[in-house]
Amino acid sequence: MKVRNSVATLVLVAATAGLAASASAQQAGENEYLQACAACHGESGKGMGPIAPLLNIDVPSLTTLAKNNDGVFPMLQVIHIIDGRSGVRGHGGIMPIWGDRFKSAMIESAGEYGAELLVRGRILALAQYLESIQE
């Protein structure tokens, strides 16, 4: 019963969110980025975050993903890289597996199915934010 309620709430929340302008999705992606990614990839996305010098591997700029891919933002690949659960990783494997992290943070409140939906939403918002900061 509890699970069913939370799924219903989630569908309602998702539907309401869909009505709000995509400007808020952009804001959500940016907030998420600043919290989860900027420490390594830098506030501007250019790869010079405060902990980047402590890693033994270069942290790539995220503003040139389109430029490095013949001018096309590689949306699907970026989604897989951020998620990390599909096995598509950055080269060194230093990038955390965000799919797992986001999911375990939400599974108690949203349930298995709800948490998975929320994970995908958060990752999509992040990928769209990255698309918006391409040079």
Of the candidates 47, 67, 44, 51, the one whose C-alpha atom is nearest the C-alpha of residue 133 is 44
Q: How many angstroms separate the CA atoms of 123 and 103, rounded? A: 11
78 binds ligand HEC (CB under 6 A): yes
Q: Which is nearer to ligand HEC, 3 or 57 (by Cβ)?
A: 57
User: What single-letter amino acid sits at 10?
Assistant: L
Of the candidates 26, 25, 63, 56, the one whose C-alpha atom is nearest the C-alpha of residue 41 is 63
118 binds ligand HEC (CB under 6 A): no
User: Which range binds ligand HEC by CB under 6 A, 12-20, 77-85, 103-111, 113-121?
Assistant: 77-85
Q: Which is nearer to ligand HEC, 28 or 37 (by Cβ)?
A: 37
Q: Which is nearer to ligand HEC, 59 or 115 (by Cβ)?
A: 59
The one among 2, 91, 108, 112 contacting ligand HEC by CB under 6 A: 91
Q: In whole angstroms, how close is the CB of 23 to ligand HEC at the nearest point?
A: 20
40 binds ligand HEC (CB under 6 A): yes
Q: Which residues ranging from 48 to 67 are in contact with ligand HEC (CB under 6 A)? A: 55, 57, 59-60, 62, 65
Q: Which residue has the tokens 């955390």?
A: 96
With contact defined as beta carbons under 8 Å apart, do 114 and 10 qualify?
A: yes
Of the candidates 2, 1, 5, 7, the one whose C-alpha atom is nearest the C-alpha of residue 113 is 7
**CB proximity list for 42: less than 8 A, separation 6 or greater:** 48, 49, 52, 59, 61
Residues that bind ligand HEC (CB under 6 A): 36-37, 39-41, 55, 57, 59-60, 62, 65, 78, 81-82, 89-96, 98, 126
